Amino acid sequence: MIQVEVAYARPDRQEIVPVNVPEG
């Protein structure tokens, strides 16, 4: 679940905002 923290830490990437969807 490291991507989850990065997504929240990086607001620049709105694509990763939806953490509910497991990216592969």
Q: How confident is the model at residue 23 (pLDDT cuts 50, 70, 90)?
A: low
Q: What local confidence, expressed as pLDDT, does residue 17 receive?
A: 58
Q: What local confidence, expressed as pLDDT, does residue 6 receive?
A: 57
Query: How far is Cα 15 from Cα 7, in angstroms, rounded to an integer?
Result: 9
Number of C-beta neighbours around residue 7 at 10 A? 17
Contact 7, 13 (CB under 8 A): yes
Q: How confident is the model at residue 10 (pLDDT cuts 50, 70, 90)?
A: low
Q: What percent of the chain has pLDDT over 70?
A: 0
CA 23 to each of CA 1, 3, 7: distance values in angstroms, whole numbers, following the listed order: 11, 9, 12
Contact 16, 7 (CB under 8 A): yes
Residue 22 has pLDDT above 60, yes or no: yes
Q: What local confidence, expressed as pLDDT, does residue 2 receive?
A: 58
Q: What local confidence, expressed as pLDDT, does residue 9 receive?
A: 56
